[in-house]
Amino acid sequence: MVKTAFGVIGGLARHLVLVDEPTREARLACCQACADYRASDDRCLACGCFVRIKAAITVTDCPRGKWGSIEPLPPQQQEAT
């Protein structure tokens, strides 16, 4: 059962599209300035996510509306850039 769960998670992780470094840094700065940010474990108290992970993923957004998701490029366009 555990092997299956890790297999599913690994499969999903291969399909995640990450934002560029300036976008990730801007999201992190926004989160770290927010009253809902808990620095002791780098988590958002509004949604419970680990901020450094969430800020790096294109399809995530801030639960307080401070930054939004970004539609990832189709795989063919990603390879061309």
Q: Quote the pTM value.
A: 0.74
Residue 27 CB neighbours (<10 A): 23
- Mean predicted confidence (pLDDT) in 9-34: 85
Joined tokens for residue 22:
């300036």
Nearest to residue 34, comparing CAs of 16, 46, 50? 46
Nearest to residue 15, comparing CAs of 50, 57, 53? 57
Q: Name the least confident of 5-19, 31-45, 61-75.
A: 5-19
Cβ proximity of 68 and 62 under 8 Å: yes
- Mean predicted confidence (pLDDT) in 9-30: 83
Confidence of residue 78 (pLDDT cuts 50, 70, 90): low
